[in-house]
Structure 1
């Protein structure tokens, strides 16, 4: 399953697992090298807890590209301001 690094809260990283509709925290020091906000991970369920296996490079890149494409569409739709100067 996949999880995404949503945010940092002090020395903890908050990971969201959308397929399970759950979030969990891990110490920043337990994250794989190169982890940053919006990084996707391969995760497995280990009893009642979750374990990060590795960074999912392909998913991270694909989701980043989707975001870039959506932002480009939004920028293309914007016209001049409705307000007169």
Structure 2
């Protein structure tokens, strides 16, 4: 089972993880309800496509743009459609 923790809060947990470039992508339904907040931030990966971001809210604090996902990934990255990955101090562990 893989878990994502931030600010002493379990924010995602799943045994259905896709790992790409060392990042664990969790199914969106594995994320604790209410911890993700839409962000206007985007970035572009040449082979995955355009990433969108979420801020993470947990235990009364916000971690801006600490999660990302690809709403329309390119064919080479189709396995991460409907999944989210974390960074910026979020601990992901097995």
Question: When the two structures are superposed, what TM-score results if normalisation uses the length of structure 2?
Answer: 0.26
- Which structure has the higher relative contact order (CA within 8 Å, separation 6+)? 2
Question: When the two structures are superposed, what TM-score results if normalisation uses the length of structure 1?
Answer: 0.28
Structure that is richer in strand per residue: 2
Max radius of gyration: which structure? 1
Structure that is richer in helix per residue: 1
